[in-house]
Structure 1
């Protein structure tokens, strides 16, 4: 099999993919790009015309959605405990929370970041903070699901936890943690204590620091 190449920016949604690779034991060629790559790494546009991260290239396979990449890496050599197969208990819930993570939870975070952090000089901070409230309200589904559970599905850690967990990690790093329930903070702490997460984070940080030392 070819060695997959993962293009990403440190601490971005691509962390889901880096983390999944570490959990699944998939040897990836990790390419850390400066943020935003469409401006600071224009050569990347020839690889991914969207200019977004992450992007996984595995032979002729190309993926640009972080949750899809995480699932792909977890099942690249066949189903593993990181994914839930059709017919297995909680298969539907596994799909639902894996997609819910980006479409419903991370989406309002990105709008908040754009209007309240990156482009706050455009006078749209109020809209950004409205999306922050939306994010906090959308956490109720995960909060209720985790009542009496350690993980989201099938009584084990899966890609669904990686995808949802990243949104909670992002909340802490961009100033949205005040509205996160304590139960979800405890869930996040359990996830980030995993050795595979620690390795993934360290790999991305090493790449980021390498860019800085090279003037990137």
Structure 2
């Protein structure tokens, strides 16, 4: 048994937000990399998470399956750190807004695009997938406007909001959606992915993925 939080995820999935947040916050997690999709390739996982989705964080009696919530949790597990913004601090509301905006408004159309235009394109739904790609690109305007005169989204420092939004931009590059991403956001993404904690998180997930394949 371990008293470390256990993170179940697939390499390069939304769980990267949680792996990254753990590295930034210095939280020692037990990282469990699963084959994709786990509901089919790791059926025992369904006993832990009936949704069959990743990520999933297990921390004692706590069970969490939302990547942005897990990232915030890890950043505040032992009290507020600079990675999160506490009530009463400037940009507290904005911090919450951009953290939730990352998944609900930006990553959502990306996942629909991936399903219809990549994974199930042979079923005749590719056109719908590409429509969601346009939706994704149009909804980047809020982030673009926010970062016109800022290095980071909130409180003049790197926070979980940047992790959550940054992952959506990382995903865009990896699934063929980068043509519609503004150059300013590509520069923002480059800054984020040069961070030591991001590089460690990415390499840790890749090591787990390679171990599965061997």
Paired position in structure 1 for 2:190 = 189
Q: Displacement, 1:2? A: 2.3
Q: Counterparts in 2 of 1:84-163, with a 5 A limit? A: 84-163=85-164
Q: Aligned equivalents of 1:7 and 1:124: distance in 2?
A: 30
SS in 2 for 1:57: strand
The aligned counterpart of 1:199 is: 200
TM-score between both structures, scaled by the size of structure 1: 0.98
Number of positions where the alignment pairs a residue of Structure 1 with one of Structure 2 = 213
Q: How much is the aligned-residue C-alpha RMSD, in angstroms?
A: 0.7
Separation (CA, whole Å) in 2 of partners of 1:149 and 1:34: 38
**TM-score, structure 2 length as denominator?**
0.99
Determine the structure 2 residue equivalent to 1:30.
Answer: 31
Provide the C-alpha distance between the structure 2 equivalents of 1:94 and 1:43, rounded to a whole number of angstroms. 36
Which 4+ residue blocks in structure 1 deviate beyond 2 angstroms?
A: none
Q: Gaps spanning 5+ residues in structure 1: where?
A: none
